[in-house]
Structure 1
């Protein structure tokens, strides 16, 4: 299974308080930089649906 490097937002600068993402084996993995041992794995389709929902405000009532 090919391994890719973790990427974080350029907005994070040198901070270790960010979400990192990588693609591996057809899946997307997410982790928080300061909790690198905890990894969430999902499909690109599911992640895209989540991001679209966030942008559309579907989860604003949870804030």
Structure 2
């Protein structure tokens, strides 16, 4: 991923309703593509733990 360039998941296809991620000054930033002015900023280790939790299904109960 290029620095400062927003990237979305390949699963999002051409949809504008997705989460985008980028790195800026050593931090990871996330936003929803349809509300791009709201940005969540975290460290790479915390982001990695978050992604691990997603893959493990820890947040599945929030989607039902």
What's the TM-score, normalizing by structure 1?
0.82
Superposed, which structure 2 residues align to 1:1-63 within 5 Å?
4-63=4-63
Which segments of 5 or more consecutive residues in structure 2 lack a partner in the other structure?
none
Which segments of 5 or more consecutive residues in structure 1 lack a partner in the other structure?
none
Distance 1:45 1:15, change over 3 A: same
The structure having more radius of gyration, on CA atoms, is 1
Higher strand share: 2
SS at match of 1:14: coil
CA RMSD after TM alignment:
1.5
* 4+ aligned runs moved over 6 Å, structure 1: none
What's the TM-score, normalizing by structure 2?
0.81
Question: In the aligned structure 2, how far is the partner of 1:10 from the partner of 1:57?
Answer: 20
